[in-house]
Amino acid sequence: MMDIDNFKKINDVYGHIIGDKVLVESASLIRNLIGPEDIVGRYGGEEFIIILKNRNNNFKDTLERIRRGIEQLSIEINNDEYINITVSIGVAKFDVKNMTLEENIALADKSLYKAKNLGKNIVVYW
């Protein structure tokens, strides 16, 4: 689960059109960094669910590339005026035999909450 850090402030300061642009550009970048069999979707507000299928340990590299890529993303808000954003990511590996999808999402959400409490712009694993 991924959350755009300080998204409410972006909407409050720059407006919802810029907030929507942040969402679209973030989703586009994620889509370009994950594989064709992987899934990204907006979960609600500024939260995204990212499902990386058939991965061994390289999922950690992929998630770190996403975090760094968004950190380096410059989003134009006016002519020659840009903002940068960061994201926090909470990860829970899905154990198909021992948990439901809802349980997995709850664990990812707990990891995300921990990432936020640790100062944001970080990937935390359950």
Lookup: tokens for 125: 């694993």
Residue 86's pLDDT is what? 98
Catalytically active residues, by annotation: 46
Residue 58's pLDDT is what? 81
Q: Map out the domains of the chain with their CATH numbers.
A: 2-125 (3.30.70.270)
Give residue 95's pLDDT band: very low, low, confident or very high (50, 70, 90): confident
What is the DSSP secondary structure assignment for residue 36, as one 8-state letter? T
pLDDT digits (tens, 9 = 90+) for 7-58: 999 999 999 999 999 999 999 999 999 999 999 999 999 999 999 987 766 8
This prediction has a pTM of: 0.92
The alpha-helical segments, DSSP class H, found in 15-100 are 16-33, 59-72
